[in-house]
């Protein structure tokens, strides 16, 4: 008999967890939307989740986010993609730390399983929660089928280096801009960011004297983003902290060479020899990697080849299969 999975669909969206939620919901058998009053992570969300759980009489309670109920009569599985709200000062607040201490950690100790998306995050979650090792499961994530080497290429009239994603402090944008400013590549390339310009990035651009050499794409759906990846000389993604780092494998799947951090999850996700890994704290190391890739066409071709092969393991079917096994009733 198929187990019903009562799924918190409020996480659906275009962000990382939102994509994870939607892809699993489509692929897991027995999923039904869980009715929870109010928005996710509101001040009353722990009570709203608990009220919704209290009405259940069978199946599994599942959240693709980090918001477990305070109590549930049925087994609970929820997701901790990373511990960024605890590990990165700029992403942390007293309220967030209190929530993790009073809701997330006790919820983790009650939960039947906790899903996460990399071995780095799995180890971090195990250390922080203190739960038995077998209860934290790395299910990874997948790459949309739109990200392939074949298709249209973004051609803005200049060669460019690319950064994809939001520009929070842990994305290391200031050092990236500084590295670009110190690279030889600034004479031939532009630096392209996805999304709109923001005041903080504009300040970094002015401070490092590269005004006019940095561009922004504006909004981009997956089809346009795939074209932007294909047109780039390289993705430069020197984050200080990632629980996974989806742009790394999206770029690889699109045939684009990658420069990324040797820290947290990105070194793991990039795979051995499929990307150039740099110390994200050293501007000169990022600049040297940029110049090395721009100057060496054979290296770009080899990294593109390796990246395509490496990224093929990251499928939503694989993630869903691992999640399905984690959500199965235990003996």
Q: What is the DSSP code string of 205-253? A: HHHTT-TTSEEE-B---HHHHHHHHHH-SEEEE--S--SS-HHHHHHHH
Q: Does 330 score more than 90 pLDDT?
A: no
Q: Does 74 score more than 70 pLDDT?
A: yes
Q: Which two tokens stand for residue 250?
A: 């999206």
Establish if 272 belongs to a structural domain. yes
Give the mean pLDDT of the chain. 96
Residues 59 and 113 in one domain: yes
Establish if 243 belongs to a structural domain. yes
**Tally of structural domains, the chain:** 2
Residues 191 and 260 in one domain: yes
Q: Quick one: pLDDT at residue 14?
A: 79
Establish if 154 belongs to a structural domain. no
Establish if 153 belongs to a structural domain. no
Q: Does 276 score more than 70 pLDDT?
A: yes
238-242: average pLDDT: 97
Q: Quick one: pLDDT at residue 329?
A: 83
**In this predicted model, what pLDDT tens digit does every residue of 63-73 receive, in sequence order?**
999 999 999 99
- Within its chain, how far is the Cα of 117 from the centroid? 9
Residues 306 and 319 in one domain: no
Q: Which two tokens stand for residue 210?
A: 């590269």
Q: Quick one: pLDDT at residue 1?
A: 66
Establish if 201 belongs to a structural domain. yes
Residues 129 and 165 in one domain: no
229 pLDDT band, cuts 50/70/90, is very high
129-153: average pLDDT: 96
Residues 300 and 167 in one domain: yes
CB-count burial class (<10 Å; 0-12, 13-18, 19+) for 146: middle
Establish if 148 belongs to a structural domain. no
Residues 24 and 56 in one domain: yes
289 neighbors 260 (Cβ within 8 angstroms): no
Residues 174 and 303 in one domain: yes
Query: The domain that contains 293 carries what CATH number?
Result: 3.40.50.2000
Q: Which two tokens stand for residue 20?
A: 């994870």
Give the predicted TM-score (pTM) of the model: 0.94
Q: Quick one: pLDDT at residue 2?
A: 81
Residues 304 and 323 in one domain: no
Residues 18 and 87 in one domain: yes
146-169: average pLDDT: 95
Q: Does 28 score more than 90 pLDDT?
A: yes
Residues 50 and 116 in one domain: yes
Decide which of 166 and 185 is more confident: 185
Establish if 288 belongs to a structural domain. yes
Q: Quick one: pLDDT at residue 271?
A: 86
15 pLDDT band, cuts 50/70/90, is confident
Establish if 173 belongs to a structural domain. yes
Give 70's DSSP letter.
S
Q: Does 131 score more than 70 pLDDT?
A: yes
109 neighbors 72 (Cβ within 8 angstroms): no
Residue numbers of the domain that contains 60: 5-142+315-327
Q: Quick one: pLDDT at residue 94?
A: 96
| Residue 93 three-state SS | coil
Q: Quick one: pLDDT at residue 184?
A: 97
256-274: average pLDDT: 95
In the 3-class helix/strand/coil scheme, how is 143-166 assigned residue by residue?
A: CCCCCCCCCCCCCCCCCEEEECCC
Residues 179 and 89 in one domain: no
pLDDT > 90: percent of the chain: 95
315-319: average pLDDT: 97
> Could you write out the DSSP letters of every residue in 265-314?
HHHHHH-TTSSEEE-TT-HHHHHHHHHHHHH-HHHHHHHHHHHHHHHTT-
Q: Does 331 score more than 70 pLDDT?
A: no
Strand partners of residue 218: 195
263-267: average pLDDT: 95
Residues 293 and 319 in one domain: no
Q: What is the largest CA-CA distance in the chain?
A: 65
275-280: average pLDDT: 98
Q: Quick one: pLDDT at residue 130?
A: 97
């Amino acid at each position: 008999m198929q187990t019903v999975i009562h799924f918190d669909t409020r996480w659906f969206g275009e962000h990382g967890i939102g994509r994870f939620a939607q892809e699993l919901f489509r692929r897991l058998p027995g999923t039904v939307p869980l009715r929870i009053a109010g928005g996710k992570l509101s001040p009353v969300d722990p009570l709203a989740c608990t009220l919704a759980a209290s009405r259940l009489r069978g199946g599994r309670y599942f959240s693709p986010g980090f918001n477990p109920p305070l109590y549930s009569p049925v087994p609970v599985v929820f997701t901790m993609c990373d511990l960024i709200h605890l590990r990165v000062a700029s992403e942390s607040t007293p309220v967030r730390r209190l929530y993790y201490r009073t809701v997330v950690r006790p919820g983790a100790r009650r939960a039947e399983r906790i899903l996460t998306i990399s071995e780095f995050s799995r180890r971090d979650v195990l250390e922080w929660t203190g739960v038995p090792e077998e209860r934290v499961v790395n299910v990874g994530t997948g790459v949309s089928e739109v990200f392939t080497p074949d298709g249209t290429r973004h051609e803005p009239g200049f060669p460019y280096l690319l950064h994809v994603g939001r520009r929070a402090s842990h994305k290391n944008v200031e050092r990236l801009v500084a590295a670009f400013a110190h690279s030889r590549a600034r004479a031939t390339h532009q630096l392209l960011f996805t999304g709109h310009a923001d005041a903080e990035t504009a300040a970094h651009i002015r401070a490092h004297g590269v005004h006019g050499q940095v561009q922004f794409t504006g909004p981009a759906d997956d089809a346009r983003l795939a074209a932007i990846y294909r047109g780039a000389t390289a993705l430069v993604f020197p984050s200080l902290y990632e629980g996974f780092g989806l742009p790394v494998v999206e770029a690889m799947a699109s045939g684009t060479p990658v420069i990324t951090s040797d820290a947290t999850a990105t070194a793991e996700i990039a795979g051995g020899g499929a990307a150039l890994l740099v110390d994200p704290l050293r501007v000169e190391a990022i600049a040297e990697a940029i110049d090395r890739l721009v100057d060496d066409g054979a290296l770009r071709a080899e990294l593109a080849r390796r990246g395509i092969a490496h990224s093929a393991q990251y499928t939503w079917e694989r993630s869903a299969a691992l999640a399905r096994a984690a959500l199965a009733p235990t003996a």
